[in-house]
Chain A
Amino acid sequence: MSTLRALARAQAVAAGRAQPVATVRHLHLSDRPLVLVPLALAGEANAPLAAMVGAAPDEARLLVVPQPRNRDQRFAFAAELAGVVLPYLDEFRDLTEAVPVDRGRDVRHRYADAPQLLVPNPAGITFLRLFGRSTRFRRTDGDYPVHQSVPLLGRWLTFFAERAEQPGSSALLALTDALTLHWATGQSVVEDLHLPAVLGWLEPPAGLTGAEAAARAEDPARCPPAGPATDPDFDNRRLAPAIEAYTRAEGDPAARAAAYDELAGLLRGQLAPTWELMWRGVGLLRTLPAGARVTGRWAGDRDAFTAHAEHVDAGGGPQPRRDGAVAAALRLQRLERASTAWAVQRAYDDPLVMAEHRLSGEAFVGEVTLADPARVDDSGKRPVLRPRIQVVTTEPVPMPVGATLYSPARPAQKAKIVFVTPGGDGKTEVVLELSGGMGRGLTAPPGSVPEVGERICLTGLSDGFLPGGAFPAAEETPWTHGGPPGTAAAPPDPAPAEDWS
């Protein structure tokens, strides 16, 4: 936790409501995100109980599993959910755009927009990941056939869950994470996992402080939990009798329909409040303008969506249960690069995030007091344009001479520290030599060199291209890493013979 964010939490406690920790929105927000609120049955291995799903506040679809221990009903639920999710994904597969590749010598196509899934909390993401795992290997033939949409749904849910691991991706978001990325509440990170409490801090009802609103939101009798876990009291007093009534009504269609309605009504009562909160949270995020680099990251999500759609269309197999050595190394490197880029880009986009880095000595802001934009270094074989500027700052400058700094205003330009001169009045003079971002000639185009009087931010954080590592092909996996994987396909999930309950 940075001191700046911790201070914002302290301010939230004092003010009685959440405080901003971002001035722009760092996540992409779709016009039609698919909001999904899942509930699971307690004690079972990720057994769905119900879900509310839809791409607009008035498009809520309630899906219910009347006997969650029954495996057929479990996969019927999966088919029903696929009936909502797969058509939603298809909505994004009409329009493509051409992207130049290989320095403009070729083009590839990607979808102009991509789907976005929103769940209430990180546990919702885990639920989708495990539900994807439990459905993507299912067979549409054999002893326990499932509907053909079920394994497809599983592959897509797995795709989204894997994207959610990547920092900066907006393909699948937990709303609590998205909100607390932009606002600090006056409670701990543990309590921030509870969506109703977070919204209590963000928008306390009139006459209540954030703390009071959050405490009220914790009472399951007043505010049902945002799932996937249900309130044990609800399970014992209301859900269990309703499920029993449904089971008892077997063979009596009228009684069964009534019992189903009763059960669906109960579950709707548990889900609807969270559904409302989800859209309120989306509305809050929409009040923030998107950061400059959000579009670029969303393009990465669109690339991934396109690639996975093509993989599925081409008859590719489901994601493996575990990565092989090479795939795991690739994934780790991809995630590390994404994590670095995500931290740097947020700082570049948002002065409030950059302030965290200024406080920790990774950046400083100062005023340009001298500038020599025409300076040419002719000591080498060829003369090169190397303007120098002097920046005066009141902030500490712990970077050593020779360090390369960057400025968010001119990300393509490098600034090498030539001198650092601490003054007597708490000010520090820094002389920097600039290269890059000024065209190819020996004269810098106007605006490419900071002018005297300009306030600029300089930081060691670079948003530059990070080269990918070189990894062997899977069939050349070194023996230190288990050697090439066997050619035999992993055995399919054995269909359990016994009853589920």
Chain B
Amino acid sequence: MEDRLAQIRGGGPPRRHNARTIAALTGNPGCTRRAVLDSAGVDKPALAEQLGFPARFGQSRFAITRGNAFEAQVKADGGTELLRLVAERLGVPVPDGATWTDLGADDDRPERSRAALTASGDGPALFDHPLLGLDVAGTRVHLEPDLVAARLAGRFHVVEIKSFPVIDGQADPGKVAAAAIQSAVYVLALRELLAAGGRDPELVSHEVVLVCPRDFANHPVASLLDVRRQLLVLRRQLARMARVEELLAAVPVGFTVDPAADPAALAAALHRVPARYAPDCLAACELAYFCRHEARGQTGALGRPVREALGGVEDVADVLALAGGVAAPEPEQAEAAALLRAAARLRADALAGQSA
């Protein structure tokens, strides 16, 4: 199995996942191409570059600087302010203090994090940058949540610090959704850690504390995100990737996408593993521009609502042939064909200025 995955990768080491890439896995669960490439740990950015369809996921250094500055500010003073924010948001009295454990530096972080998080203690505790782990397609992935708050309101809470603003109680829905799914990855990993340590995984709350700047200033504000739905989606996709044998059964023997290979050969190889391109992929998958190019001429590339409005017919050429009455519909297309013909006639009439 490992050999097969290494062959798909083309020999290089598997690309490491992080919380963001794991979160992205939930975006288009029906896409075999993506599931195979991600399971094998293919370097998709390099692959996309070699194919001539580079991904555009650059991050501005202004955004990075601001994110780091805000996190440092929130965590200043041993987390006193942070403790107050989290406790108030959870509706419990603000404790006099909490232990602060920096798990971000030093060697042996996984072991230290495991020991710190599974140890039993009394008072509330804040764990800065613990290192968690999760198995993704048979590979151990290291994850680093911003903070874990323990024993506040009786449970563990993942605390995620983001620098996008919450203005008058509202934040960018897209960014909140991304933060929710990313936090769900941490919740999952933390639950596994507790379970492995013989403790109840349900001690980890499905509510995540999101700390963002309030309005247009730097004052932090905490909100709660319920990530139960995200946890379900994540578990399903991770289970699917764990059954990598089943996935590979659908992949042609000898399939390989070594990012150093000739672009034409790469494209030909990829064509043999079906993708399910949707416009949403552009924001989530490094290979999306290649898949879009390949899907040109398909109604799905115009978005699912368009495809559905066209009666589910897959090819643009077929749509137009049915609409023009040029092609005889397959029996199951009869209804779609009648709709398309009526639409084409109405459209032509209105454009020719002959209607009411």
Contact = CB atoms under 8 A, between A and B. Distances in A.
B344 interface: yes
A328 interface: no
Contact of A3 (B58, B63, B164, B340): B340
B84 to A, nearest CB: 17
A42 B350 contact: no
B218 A43 contact: no
Interface in B30-73: 56, 58-67, 69
A240 B60 CA distance: 9
> Max chain A CB contacts within 10 Å: which of B62, B167, B217, B344?
B62
Nearest to A135: B216
A14 B316 contact: yes
Interface stretch (A30-38, A79-87, A114-122, A354-362): A354-362
Contact of B350 (A23, A189, A456, A500): A23
> Max chain B CB contacts within 10 Å: which of A3, A10, A191, A231?
A10
Contact of A7 (B169, B213, B296, B323): B323
Contacts of A130: 167
Interface string B156-181: 00000001110111000000000000
Nearest to B70: A43
B248 interface: no
A493 B219 CA distance: 12
> Max chain B CB contacts within 10 Å: which of A43, A354, A455?
A43
A494 to B, nearest CB: 8
Contacts of A365: 355-356
B199 to A, nearest CB: 38
Contact of B320 (A11, A211, A408): A11
A355 B346 contact: yes
B219 A496 contact: yes
Interface string A65-82: 000000000000000000
A161 B303 CA distance: 28
B354 to A, nearest CB: 8
Interface in B306-356: 306-311, 316-317, 319-320, 323, 339-340, 342-344, 346-347, 349-351, 353, 355-356
Given A4-B346, A7-B310, A134-B216, A321 B168 contact: yes
Contact of B216 (A46, A191, A355): A46
Interface residues of B, number: 59
Nearest to A49: B62
A43 B62 contact: yes
B60 A352 contact: no
Contacts of A354: 350, 355-356
A236 interface: yes
A492 B163 CA distance: 23
Nearest to B293: A215
A220 interface: yes
Interface SS of chain A: mixed
A211 B302 CA distance: 12
Interface residues of A, number: 61
Contacts, number: 164
A340 B175 CA distance: 31
Contacts of A250: none
B207 to A, nearest CB: 24
Given A187-B302, A191-B282, A500-B218, A322 B309 contact: no
A236 B356 contact: no
Contact of B309 (A3, A43, A231, A409): A3
Interface string B267-305: 000000000000110110000000000001101011101
A276 interface: no
A496 B58 contact: no
Interface in A344-385: 351-352, 354-355, 358-359, 365
A247 B63 CA distance: 19
A7 B58 CA distance: 35
Contacts of B297: 13
Contacts of B66: 43-44, 501
Give the top 9 A-B pairs by smallest Cβ distance, nearest first.
A43-B63, A457-B356, A232-B58, A496-B217, A42-B60, A43-B66, A6-B309, A45-B165, A188-B279
Interface of A: 1-11, 13-14, 20, 23, 41-46, 130, 133-134, 186-191, 211, 218, 220, 230-233, 235-236, 240, 321-322, 351-352, 354-355, 358-359, 365, 407-409, 455-457, 493-494, 496, 498, 500-501
18 contacts: A3-B310, A6-B307, A7-B344, A7-B347, A8-B347, A10-B316, A23-B353, A42-B60, A186-B302, A232-B59, A236-B60, A240-B61, A322-B169, A352-B351, A355-B346, A407-B356, A500-B218, A501-B69
